[in-house]
Amino acid sequence: MQRQPAVAGQFYPGSEQKLRASLSQLIHKFPSTLPVKGVISPHAGYMYSGAIAGQLFGRIAIPDTVLIIGPNHHGVGEAAALYPEGEWLTPLGVTAINSRLNALLLQHGSYLRNDRVAHQNEHSLEVQLPFIQYLRPDVTISALCIGHGDYAPLRDIGHGIAAAIREFGEDVLIVASSDMTHYESADSARQKDEMALERALALDGKGLLEVCHSRGITMCGVVPATIMIEAALNLGASQGELVAYGNSGDVTGDSRQVVGYAAVTVS
């Protein structure tokens, strides 16, 4: 089955020509790219967070296979929903689901379930794909849409993902899709986001989850980020790096109520 784009023409341009032109402007070209195990990438409309995502994706090496993990904004479907076999469509074309990686993720991840419903209208994974397609047209993906969770099961999911990737035997980039603080002043958002990013850059998944809960940091993809960190650590990651940070007020000029965006690499 083919997953149809839900937010083309809203979060990003709906035609191939306009989308390619937009991505060519957003993606920063670096002389060389860095191999990384995971990233945190924002998922707002491209006019708001696309430049930050573009700095991230232009900097890293994208392997043949990418696992995208996004939060479930709508609260429908399975709690840890792995998109089954098929394809994802964007204006840039179709990208196949990697059925072998999917099978290994289900084998090693006791919480994961095949489910299309959670993905049907979810934007957080979809907006990542055009960046990946543009830079790696032959890529295959797995897509995991996940709801809220406590640390222990998220740690277990991360360890299961790491085990699946080890058995897969090829490089897999893990993309955790997340925006940062929502609808606070730019100063307040930065202060809160610095607390969350400190834990993320320290590769402290438990600490990231705890500080977001205790300080009311509305990082919508804290669960995907925690899972990515736990998986990357299990695969040998040792450092995090902040590539870029900004907020919607940088675009709109209104700093009273912003959404924060961060681009982070884990290697």
pLDDT tens-digit map of 92-119? 999 999 999 999 999 999 899 999 999 9
- Indicate the CATH number of 2-266 among 3.40.830.10, 1.10.287.110, 3.40.50.300, 3.40.50.720: 3.40.830.10
In one-letter notation, the amino acid at residue 12 is Y
- Say yes or no to pLDDT of 139 above 90: yes
Q: In the prediction, which pLDDT does 113 show?
A: 98
With tokens 């450092």, the residue in question is: 239
* Better pLDDT: 260 or 149: 260
DSSP 219: -
Q: In the prediction, which pLDDT does 124 show?
A: 98
Q: Which residues pair with 260 in a beta bridge?
A: 247
> What percent of the residues of the chain are helix, what percent strand, and what percent coil, each to the nearest 5?
40, 25, 35
Q: What are phi and psi of 108, to 5 degrees?
A: -100, -10
Q: How confident is the model at residue 259 (pLDDT cuts 50, 70, 90)?
A: very high
Residues 102, 105, 108, 110, Cα dihedral to 10° = -100
Of 189, 211, 214, 215, the closest CA to residue 202 belongs to 211
Q: How confident is the model at residue 29 (pLDDT cuts 50, 70, 90)?
A: confident
- Regarding pTM above 0.85, the answer is yes
pLDDT tens digit string along 50-93? 999 999 999 999 999 999 999 999 999 999 999 999 999 999 99
CA 144, chain centre distance (Å): 10
The first and second tokens of residue 72, run together, are 């479930």
Name the least confident of 24-33, 48-57, 92-101, 226-235: 24-33
15: how many CB neighbours lie within 10 A of its CB?
A: 11
- Report the alpha-carbon angle 185-189-190, nearest 5: 120
The mean per-residue pLDDT over the stretch 126-153 comes to: 97
The first and second tokens of residue 6, run together, are 């839900």
Q: In the prediction, which pLDDT does 16 show?
A: 98
Q: What percent of the chain has pLDDT over 70?
A: 100
- Report the alpha-carbon angle 146-132-64, nearest 5: 90
Residues 52 and 42: their CA atoms lie apart, in Å, by 7
* Better pLDDT: 49 or 31: 49
